Amino acid sequence: LPKFSFDKARVSKDASVKRVLTDALNKNQYLKRLELQQIKDMVECMYERTYQQGEYVIKQGEPGNHLFVLADGKLDVFQHNKLLTSIAVWTTFGELAILYNSTRTASVRAVNKVKVWVLDREVFQNIMRRTAETRHEQY
């Protein structure tokens, strides 16, 4: 029987991929405060997705159901159709709506064909919950 509710979301991946995903999550200013085990669990549960040129990965104002790490290609960030910046490879994005239960603060669009690693919101929340339960068991 799976020990944790997110065990079924685990996706096997190469050690080298896990390393770059761990680094990408840890360099995010909000996620770097999480525990090592939480980051490890997040990496274990991420899965790959591709987006074609011109596709929206995120639309401003919509609810957020995923957190992403860019693995390949180029993404532009827009607010109200104004270009703000581009996202560099091995950067985390889409974390704000997941962490703060808010709607998306900006739109993110694929400039060319893009590969991302994705973590579902529900899995993220279960990972946060698991650590709280494990800690509670120690007392």
Provide, rounded to whole angstroms, the least separation between the CB of residue 96 and ligand CMP. 3
CB-nearer residue toward ligand CMP: 9 or 108:
108
Contact between 108 and 85 under an 8 Å Cβ cutoff? The reply is no
CB-nearer residue toward ligand CMP: 11 or 63:
63
Q: Residues 6 or more apart from 136 whose CB is under 8 A from it?
A: none
CB-nearer residue toward ligand CMP: 7 or 99:
99
Provide, rounded to whole angstroms, the least separation between the CB of residue 90 and ligand CMP. 14
For the sheet with 66-72, list strands across it: 47-51, 114-120, 66-72, 92-93
Contact between 65 and 120 under an 8 Å Cβ cutoff? The reply is yes
CB-nearer residue toward ligand CMP: 4 or 90:
90
93-121-37 Cα angle (round to 5):
85
Provide, rounded to whole angstroms, the least separation between the CB of residue 3 and ligand CMP. 30
Task: Give the residues lining the site for ligand CMP (CB under 6 A).
Answer: 58, 64, 77, 84-85, 93-97, 104-106, 108
Provide, rounded to whole angstroms, the least separation between the CB of residue 13 and ligand CMP. 22
Gap between the Cα atoms of 96 and 134, Å rounded: 26
